[in-house]
A and B are shown apart, each in its own frame.
Chain A
Amino acid sequence: MNILAIDSSNLVMGVAVSTETKVLGEIITNVKKNHSIRLMPAIEQIIRDVDLTLDQIDRIAVAIGPGSYTGVRIGVTIAKTLAWTANKEIVGISSLEALAQNGMHFNGLIVPFFDARRGQVYTGLYQSKDGKVECVQEDRLTMMKDWLGQLKECQESVLFLSNDLDKHVAIIHEILPNSVIGEAVYNNPRPSEIAKLAFTREPSKDVHHVVPSYLRLAEAESKWLEKQVNKE
């Protein structure tokens, strides 16, 4: 089975083509450039570079977030459209779960996160077990400070993986002084990991129903809901 993996959910943009046993090719960039301009050409290039055609792709794996709203939408729209129109299976993968895979060989808790501004992060809790990184506490949007307090209770060593470490490293050291900070090479989510995860998942029954996982309402929606509550 050939899987095409797509991730434009955060600053890192990645595309990969894998079989069950081999990563045939992977393109990753970690620069502030426009995903809308670059993602589709990257998909075309990776498929061509590994000497395949779209016909030979069986399944499409896509990072569904959390992350940049616009970034997530670009990846999900392209993945859904390709899957629908070219009759491919599709699997959505959490962007945090994808990043957590980089902690596979860490003996302890794995905490991937993306900065969500004003002290908040998108994050989740993962752990490596029997050669698999499993989710222990589901993905969420939370204040980093509260999250660290919670992690402290676990009394286990914690590995933090993120390209946004610089924004949060001070508070991490303050609350969890013994935690491990991921080296640069481990902080880019890798599309080949997304492909790997997608091999083991059931594809979505209906491609139309694949939606981004924003983990946060649009601002106007939460304000509107707040108003309704206040009215009561």
Chain B
Amino acid sequence: MNFEKPNIILGIETSCDETAAAVVENGTIIRSSVVATQIEIHKRFGGVVPEVASRHHVEQFTVVCEQAIKEANVEWEDIDAIAVTQGPGLIGALLVGVNGAKALAFAHQKPLVPVHHIAGHIYANRLVNEMKFPLLALIVSGGHTELIYMRSHASYEVIGETRDDAAGEAFDKVARTLDLPYPGGPGIDRLASIGKPNIDFPRAWLEPDSYDFSFSGLKSAVINMVHNAKQKGETISKENIAASFQESVMDVLVAKTMKAAKEYHVEQIIVAGGVSANQGLRQRMEAACHDAGIPLSIPPLKLCTDNAAMIAAAGSIGYLKGDRADLALNGNPSLEIEKFSV
């Protein structure tokens, strides 16, 4: 398959709480990337409220698209295809992007390329470093914790995933227990950097040959401990709890990733998704990859969190591979990435 053909893709992302549009050239060069984030709006609710998110998407959608086209300095005739996140995500939120993208595709008679959100997170790396195959991608975010093996472009094999909470979800819940604001990741990361990992929280290794994850036991252990201490009137070090919790999460993430990387003889390890902003994870992965002699790629922060440049980058591959949707395209909250595999 020829993935070298020049192309310009307009990407659209509305799967959660960011309304985003971007123009990307050849899947590698960001011409523009506009994100209207709703983090401040959802903070007071302590998490993303789907209905509120959907309402904001409708208000922001055309504004964000207009800005992306303008900043990219492109005309509609320059754009080869429109790529949109079809799923997974919040259904009401997805529907705004999907229907907006269909209207654009119809108005300009452009091919419509459906994109899997996680493929987007993986391809965010291509906006920084060219991908080297075979590779292993660790995707960690508020909604996902997955290990995906890629033999080549657009070849996705999920070799491990969470059986309960996503890593980011555990961060948010533990943060709430420690009275830290939403989203919980940055707060825990900050406390962890000054605390000591001196509490022995559980690590769920599951079956010896499994690459799956489980964080609900760990989450409950932390919540119970804080709760019990409060009831007994004991003072606890939030810093040490954060550091111990984070260490427990990272131990499992890093160990399973490195084990899989060796078993599958990969040429590159990619980390993506919102939690890859975590300094603890970055440092641990860098050290482990250095020791194993496997190149590591982690995109910069603004490409780790949800954005549309990553959707356009994945859309570029989907476009060249021939992924097409018609005007009946629907959002799919539980879309599987294997559907997009060559």
Contacts and interface: CB of A to CB of B under 8 A. Distances in A.
- Real binding pair: yes
A154 interface: no
A17 B95 CA distance: 25
Category for how many chain B residues contact A: 35 or more
Given A40-B328, A224-B45, A54 B106 contact: yes
B104 interface: yes
5 contacts: A38-B328, A73-B57, A74-B95, A77-B57, A214-B55
Interface in A173-228: 207-208, 211-212, 214, 218-221, 224
Interface string B259-281: 00000000000000000000000
A36 B328 CA distance: 7
Interface in A13-52: 34, 36-41, 43-44
B330 interface: yes
A40 B51 contact: no
Interface stretch (B59-67, B122-130, B154-162): B59-67
Contacts of B331: 36
A219 B107 CA distance: 35
Contacts of A69: 51, 54-55, 92
Interface of A: 34, 36-41, 43-44, 54, 69-70, 73-74, 76-78, 80-82, 84-86, 207-208, 211-212, 214, 218-221, 224
A78 B103 contact: yes
B103 A40 contact: yes
Contacts of A86: 107
Nearest to A88: B107
Residue of B61, B100, B103 most packed against chain A (CB within 10 A): B103
Contacts of B59: 208, 211
B45 A70 contact: no
B327 interface: yes
Contact of B49 (A40, A85, A220): A220
B330 A36 contact: yes
B45 A220 contact: yes
Given A69-B92, A73-B55, A78-B99, 17 more contacts: A40-B99, A73-B54, A76-B58, A77-B96, A78-B103, A80-B58, A81-B62, A81-B65, A81-B100, A81-B104, A82-B106, A84-B65, A85-B103, A208-B62, A212-B58, A218-B55, A220-B51
A224 B326 CA distance: 40
